[in-house]
Amino acid sequence: MADTPKPAEIAKIDHYPSPFEKGWMNKQVEIKPGVYCYASKPKNLEYVGMPYPREWNPADEDWKLPENWKEIIEEGFKDRLDKYRSFKLFMDICVRCGACADKCHFFIGSGDPKNMPVQRAELLRSVYRKNHTIGGKILGPFAGARELTEDVLKEWWYYLYQCTECRRCSVFCPYGIDTAEITIIGRELTNLLGLNIDWIAAPVANCYRTGNHLGIQPHAYKDMMDFFTDEIEDITGIRMEQDFNRKGAEILFITPSGDVFADPGTFTCMGYMMLFHYLKEQGLDITWSTYASEGGNFGFFTSHEMAKRLNAKMYAEAKRLGVKWILGGECGHMWRVLNQYMDTFNGPPDSLEEPVSPITGTKFENAKTTKMVHLVEFTADLMKHNKLKLDPSRNDHLKVTFHDSCNTARGMGFLEEPRYVIKNVCNNFYEMPPETIRELTFCCGSGSGLNAGENMELRMRGGLPRANAVKHVHEKHGVNMLSCICAIDRAVLTSLMEYWVPEVEVTGVHEMVANALVFDGEKKRTTDLRGEPLPGMEDEEDV
Amino acid sequence: MSIDKILAEKRSKIIKKWRNAIIKSYPEDGQGFLKREKSQFANPVGLTISTEIETLYDEIIKGENTEKISSCLDSIIRIRAVQDFKPSRAVAFVLQLKQIIRDELGSGHSDKMRILDNRIDEIALLAFDVYSACRQKISEIRVKEVKNQVGKLLERANLISEIPEQRPAL
Ligand code: SF4
Ligand code: SF4
């Protein structure tokens, strides 16, 4: 009897289910500069008919919420529980084992426990318990449930826009809970109150109006491509004109607009152009579009409906031009949408046919329903069939490693093709450590619309695990080039490298392909696409 | 016992205390993870802190190689400069070493301790330089990104015309 604890002592025992959740519920969130992105501007929400457009500032106390904001969220929450079985399941089945806790790059880089995936999901889950479970309704905080208040909403917003929807955590969860999907739904809910970030809202509005994120009009798009044509001519001596909006072409090519307007993606774009020109003689009949001028889809970071709306233009333009199938450039989230959603969003496209490579005759059976093929896969197939004359020594000044973009690696299992292509065009390739690549790849830290400038500190810490692995191969093998197949990566990894490993540059895969591609009748190449001297050509005159 | 001998003998104890003090600056619920000796890829922050302060400690005691000291400081502060720390908190760990050493030495050794104090003060100033350089870099990156996103576009689309390097002859 003497050992039996007294009631007062029992009351002190902590019954809280998981050690890493101690006290988290009661701490009020502090919205910090360098971490949060600026609020969506009203004009961008208005343009696409999103609710509650207004000027507001995340750093202000008053977010100017509509009076019935709580009802709107609770209603929206309920709708989505009914609509998405996976969401309901993810709310219910987490056992808080902690396996995902230390797998998120934002937690690893920041040490902020609220960036543990389980905690991020708990933001929504705690409110779910309060409203939708008996235990939560009765026991409240003792069952891990909490009331939805303005502070809770602010915390949602702050941490939902600190998740890049990369899915790394889901790989480690024994139940397959995908926190990225929870973030996606959570962001949908914030959008019901007009609480988006402008870095997402502006591209969405632009894309809806002009067809691409930057709001580039057709003539400017064409101007840029003409500029590249001149550049390519300077380097190779061959004029490689492209076709635009050409009706009756066999294939439509769609790529992220970042390739056309932002370095170093521009060099990748030149790579596409050169490859297409090279294949013309072998029967490639392809056109670009100045309307479907964006492969990316920031609607995907807003809501399922918005993603669907913006995605629709791909099939619409394919139909208008009367092409047989679509080829897609090097992009990350574009491919996640195409691979996971397009079929149900806007498919099946009756006007299109099952893609067949006009050069090799290969049937892309994996694209049977979507009718859209990844360019890297297309190129890998060309290489497999020896259709390209390549001189990989032209890339000998590069020591290359490859960053698997979360979306292509975990979102579509696209792992071997890029490596196959890279190894065909360069002699020095080094993998980063196994726990940082392929399906375990570390995110760039800037995906899912978080590639703004004002949140640079967040991006740098989120990208730290990736940069740390690059640094390792840089120190061990002298790696000086980080390759990737994503337009956002090309832009953001450049900044990431500048901060963490400044000796390493960033490239798309097709830039290296084009460097190695040997054209009949080309002039002696002395530089690569960036105008840097090729190995052994350092003393040539026109360098 | 001479102070050098004590500092050598208590090396691992002091470093451990120092590491714990640094990790304490992070939110409580994340500290356990940072302490875990995982691979350098699973826990780059924790591992960087552990390895760099070892070298830093040895160099501080020797007090010779400023370059090495700077490089250690850079590795740690580059991380802290983008985490949730005020500038003072990001570099405070350097000064924390003073008290940790003093606690281990006990009383006496005041002359030697004064030298060490001065040295640590110097390094704290160095840390401030490193921190500023990191923050400067962040601003540069921000500016560069904006320029790259918009400036090039305007220039290439012939929408702006900059003053040429050389004036055309009249
Ligand atoms: S790994 Fe899965 S079950 Fe375990 S805490 Fe994370 S989400 Fe929950
Ligand atoms: S999806 Fe990625 S960013 Fe989001 S919680 Fe999981 S690991 Fe972190």
Is residue A538 a part of any domain in this protein?
no
Do A444 and A503 lie in a common domain? Answer: yes
Burial A505-518 (b: 16+ CB within 10 A, else e): bbbbbbbbbbbbbe
Q: Is B20 on the interface with A (CB under 8 A)?
A: no
Predicted confidence at residue A113, as pLDDT, reads 95
Do A335 and A471 lie in a common domain? Answer: yes
Predicted confidence at residue B108, as pLDDT, reads 74
Whether B138 and A457 have beta carbons less than 8 Å apart is answered as yes
Do A352 and A499 lie in a common domain? Answer: yes
Is residue A109 a part of any domain in this protein?
yes
Name the one residue in this structure whose structure tokens are 């197939």. Answer: A381
C-alpha B79/C-alpha B68 separation (Å) is 17
Do A87 and A234 lie in a common domain? Answer: no
Is residue A239 a part of any domain in this protein?
yes
Q: Which atom of ligand 2 has the smallest separation from the CA of A406?
A: 2
Do A415 and A321 lie in a common domain? Answer: yes
Q: Is A220 on the interface with B (CB under 8 A)?
A: yes
Is residue B100 a part of any domain in this protein?
yes
Question: How sure is the predictor about A106, in pLDDT bands with cuts at 50, 70 and 90?
Answer: very high
Instruction: Tell me the DSSP string of A149-190.
Output: -HHHHHHHHHHHTT-----HHHHH-TT---HHHHHHHHHHHH
Is residue B156 a part of any domain in this protein?
no
To probe the interface with B, which of A29, A493, A498, A530 has the most B CB atoms within 10 Å?
A: A498
Q: Considering only alpha carbons, which residue of chain A is nearest residue B144? A: A495
Do A135 and A236 lie in a common domain? Answer: no
Q: What percent of chain B has pLDDT over 70?
A: 87
Is residue B128 a part of any domain in this protein?
yes
- Report the mean per-residue pLDDT for chain A: 92
Is residue A217 a part of any domain in this protein?
yes
Higher pLDDT, B113 or A418: A418
C-alpha A480/C-alpha A468 separation (Å) is 14
Is residue B81 a part of any domain in this protein?
yes
Question: How sure is the predictor about B166, in pLDDT bands with cuts at 50, 70 and 90?
Answer: low
Record: contact A227-B156, CB cut-off 8 A: yes
Do A171 and A316 lie in a common domain? Answer: no
Is residue A41 a part of any domain in this protein?
no
Record: contact A263-B148, CB cut-off 8 A: yes
Is residue A278 a part of any domain in this protein?
yes
Is residue B89 a part of any domain in this protein?
yes
Beta bridge partners of A286: A251
Question: Mind listing the pLDDT tens digit for each residue in A399-438?
Answer: 999 999 999 999 999 999 999 999 999 999 999 999 999 9
Do A241 and A371 lie in a common domain? Answer: yes
Which A residues 153-212 touch B at CB under 8 Å? none
B39 to chain A: which residues are within 8 Å by CB?
A: 433, 435
A120 Cα–ligand 2 center, Å: 9
Do A218 and A185 lie in a common domain? Answer: no
Is residue A45 a part of any domain in this protein?
no
Predicted confidence at residue A237, as pLDDT, reads 97
Name the one residue in this structure whose structure tokens are 């350097």. Answer: B94
Shortest CA gap B122–chain A (Å)? 25
Residue A360 CA from chain centroid, whole number: 30
Does ipTM exceed 0.90? yes
Q: Is A21 on the interface with B (CB under 8 A)?
A: yes
Is residue B155 a part of any domain in this protein?
no
For chain A, how many structural domains are there in total? 2
Of A178, A195, A212, which residue is a domain's last?
A195
Q: Considering only alpha carbons, which residue of chain B is nearest residue A230? A: B156
A176 Cα–ligand 1 center, Å: 8
Pairing type for strands A505-508 and A481-484 reads parallel
Shortest CA gap B150–chain A (Å)? 8
Do A215 and A141 lie in a common domain? Answer: no
C-alpha A108/C-alpha B46 separation (Å) is 9
Do A423 and A368 lie in a common domain? Answer: yes
* Ligand 2 binding residues, C-beta < 6 A: A 103-104, 106, 117, 120, 163-169, 179-180, 183
Predicted confidence at residue A202, as pLDDT, reads 94
A442 Cα–ligand 2 center, Å: 10
A34 to chain B: which residues are within 8 Å by CB?
A: 82
Give how far Cα B67 sits from Cα of B52, B64, B123, Å.
13, 9, 11
Strand order in A505-508's β-sheet?
A: A400-402, A481-484, A505-508
Question: Mind listing the pLDDT tens digit for each residue in A422-433?
Answer: 999 999 999 999
Enclosing domain of residue A12:
7-30+51-195
Q: Is B26 on the interface with A (CB under 8 A)?
A: yes
Predicted confidence at residue A20, as pLDDT, reads 41
**CATH number for B24:** 1.10.490
Residue nearest to atom 6 of ligand 2 (CA): A169
Record: contact A465-B82, CB cut-off 8 A: no
Handedness of CA A13, A15, A20, A23 (dihedral sign): negative
Here the tokens at position A377 are 């896969």
Q: Mapped to the 3 state alphabet, what secondary structure does B146-160 carry?
A: HHHHHHHHHHHCCCC
Residue nearest to atom 3 of ligand 2 (CA): A163
For chain B, how many structural domains are there in total? 1
Do A415 and A512 lie in a common domain? Answer: yes
Is residue A323 a part of any domain in this protein?
yes
C-alpha A90/C-alpha A310 separation (Å) is 27
Residue A163, φ and ψ in degrees, nearest 5: -125, 130
Is residue B160 a part of any domain in this protein?
no
Question: Mind listing the pLDDT tens digit for each residue in A1-35?
Answer: 445 555 555 444 443 334 344 455 667 889 999 99
The pTM assigned to this predicted structure is 0.93
Q: Is B160 on the interface with A (CB under 8 A)?
A: no
Residues in chain B: 170
- Residue B35 exposed, middle or buried by CB count within 10 Å (0-12, 13-18, 19+): middle
Question: How sure is the predictor about A533, in pLDDT bands with cuts at 50, 70 and 90?
Answer: very high
Ligand nearest to the CA of A443: 2
Here the tokens at position A229 are 């044509």
To probe the interface with A, which of B84, B136, B155, B158 has the most A CB atoms within 10 Å?
A: B84
C-alpha A280/C-alpha B104 separation (Å) is 76
Question: Mind listing the pLDDT tens digit for each residue in A329-357?
Answer: 999 999 999 988 999 999 889 899 999 99
Is residue B154 a part of any domain in this protein?
no
Predicted confidence at residue B164, as pLDDT, reads 60
Enclosing domain of residue B37:
3-134
Tell which phi-psi region holds residue A124, choosing left (phi > 0), alpha (psi between -120 and 50) or beta. Answer: alpha
C-alpha A205/C-alpha A221 separation (Å) is 18
Which A residues 467-526 touch B at CB under 8 Å? 468-469, 472, 491, 495, 498-500
C-alpha B10/C-alpha B12 separation (Å) is 6
